[in-house]
Amino acid sequence: MVVLAKGELEQIALPAAQPPLAHVREVDLSAAPGPGRAAAARALVSACEEQGFFKVTGHGVPPELVRAAEAAAAEFFALPQAEKEAAAGRPLGYDSKRIGVSGDLGWIEYLMLGVTPAGALPAASFASWTLPCAGAAVASLSEPPCPLRDLLEEYAAAVRRMACGVLELMAEGLGIAPADALSRLVADAESDSMLRVNHYPPRPELQGRLLTGFGEHTDPQVISVLRSNGTSGLEICARDGSWAAVPPDPDSFFVNVADALQVLTNGRFRSVRHRVVVSSERPRVSMIFFGGPPFGQRLAPLRQLLGDGGRSRYREFTWKEYKSSTHKGRLATDRLCSFEN
């Protein structure tokens, strides 16, 4: 349940203007193992350079798994509030309306979970809370497996594999070696990856205005892989600052270039600014895998992308340093600017 006071609703109210539809590049990953691999790699690089955002088909994630995880998540958010709040915690766990610790609000409730490189949701993610199982009583870690947790683990594992495959194609398209120069950051045993499950309830009537579901921001990690239940709301920002609505697609996954990947490519790839606007009378459920590097990983532009005498746009820093900085500002803050040379 999302409960905001009148003043809070005013903070997140938006004009009801309808932005144009975004033209989103589509890359068919099923062509990658064969003769179409080079073309898919070039298409990925082009999409990352132009928009920092694209969608993938032929991704290999079983549709029945996606539907089951999405249905279980919807059941979780339909639980009584007291049961959902049994899973409350920061930064991991259940929360509503509050996004981060700097005062950002949204018409949203969500679960934030840690993910191991194998795709599992580690016990450490549940250190101070228990996860209510959809359709069942609140379960502790010592009780039988939770259907929701099991489904999200399987989902996270499948999407992580796909994300690593996409990163390998990006490396190939950029002409950098080894093949896992990018994907190993997400595949590393110490990688700091997350799974976020968002629920945007139907919007209340606000005399022709819309609500911010999740305010404008870029993702700090290497790569983000998102899907939703086919309900509209996601918008991306163009280079000229204008917004465009992403047409919903229940069968594809949308991929964002995130901040760390912008740094690694020395700004060649663009970390896309995006937001969610609550404009539908239908609830929106989205699941986002954030592929992050290990905390101690040092991030700087890859030498192979600098060329002879090329200038590095960013100073070297660790993922822990950058992640810590993201928690100190508001969502819309341009966090990378303080790491530029």
Q: Is it the case that residue 248 has pLDDT exceeding 60?
A: yes
Q: Determine, yes or no, domain membership for 11.
A: no
Domain hosting 167: range is: 24-135+144-339
Residue 36 corresponds to which tokens in the numbers above? 């179409």
Interior/surface letters 173-194, b for 16+ CB within 10 angstroms, e for the rest: bbebeeeebbbbbbbbeebbbb
Q: How far apart are CA 241 and CA 190, in angstroms?
A: 36
32 dihedral zone (left: phi>0; alpha: psi -120 to 50; beta) = alpha
Task: Compute the average pLDDT of residues 74-85.
Answer: 91
- Dihedral of alpha carbons 72, 12, 97, 152, sign: positive
What pLDDT does 102 receive?
Answer: 86
Q: Determine, yes or no, domain membership for 249.
A: yes
Q: Which residue has the tokens 């199982």?
A: 133
pLDDT digits (tens, 9 = 90+) for 30-70: 987 778 899 999 999 999 999 999 999 999 999 999 999 99
Q: Determine, yes or no, domain membership for 17.
A: no
> What's the CATH number where 303 sits?
2.60.120.330
- Dihedral (Cα; 286, 232, 164, 27), 10-degree rounding: 160
What pLDDT does 120 receive?
Answer: 61
Closest CA to 86 of 129, 48, 26, 149: 129
Q: Determine, yes or no, domain membership for 44.
A: yes
Task: Compute the average pLDDT of residues 82-104.
Answer: 87
State what percent of residues in the chain have pLDDT above 70. 91
Q: Determine, yes or no, domain membership for 6.
A: no
Work out how many domains the chain is built from and give that number: 1
207 dihedral zone (left: phi>0; alpha: psi -120 to 50; beta) = left
